[in-house]
Amino acid sequence: MKSGSIKSNFRVFFSIRNEKSRIHGTGAYTNEQISAKRKLGSLGGVVISREEADRRSKLNESIAIVELWNGKALDATINSNELRYINHSCGPNTYMRVFNNHVEFYALRHIKKNEELTCNYGLTHHEGTLPCKCGAKNCQGFI
């Protein structure tokens, strides 16, 4: 763990597995039905400075870093959990809520057993240049 970084506490409230995704690399899939508006859990990771997050994002095309409100970021490549593999979709079934040093995921709608969990990432370090492969009817084409 980098000096000065803080481990973010996390918990997953549903049974989720990670396996190959049709969207990108590895995905997060639910092993059970999840009702709309339920909290799936909190993303695990290490809280780092936004400057360190920028540096790390330049090292890899595929990252798991979420900017927080306080000039910090959560790097979910370290001390992570199954939620790290929630892929982007322009027609997501979850949404992300940033609260202090936590990143929480909630169900936008009823999610079926074995369905891939997706979230609209919003603005990313790709700045709209990475082709989107979500396959949603309303796909914007780029992330």
Domain with 45 in it: what CATH number? 2.170.270.10
For the stretch 87-130, pLDDT in tens is 999 999 999 999 888 899 999 999 999 999 999 987 666 566 77
Please check whether residue 139 lies inside any domain of the structure. Answer: no
Q: Which domain holds residue 79?
A: 6-119
Q: Establish if 137 belongs to a structural domain.
A: no
Our count of domains for the chain comes to 1
26-57 pLDDT per residue, tens: 999 999 999 999 999 999 999 999 999 889 88
| pLDDT score at 57 | 81
What distance in Å separates the CA atoms of residue 12 and residue 86, rounded to the nearest whole number? 13
Q: What's residue 9's pLDDT?
A: 55
- CB-based contacts of 48: which residues, under 8 Å, 6+ apart? 2, 5, 56, 72, 73, 74, 75
Considering only residues 110 and 2, tell me which one the structure prediction assigns the higher pLDDT. 110
141 lies in some domain: no
> Tokens 């900017």 appear where?
67
Residue 106 is assigned to a structural domain of this protein:
yes
Q: Which has more confidence, 28 or 11?
A: 28
- 124 assigned to some structural domain: no
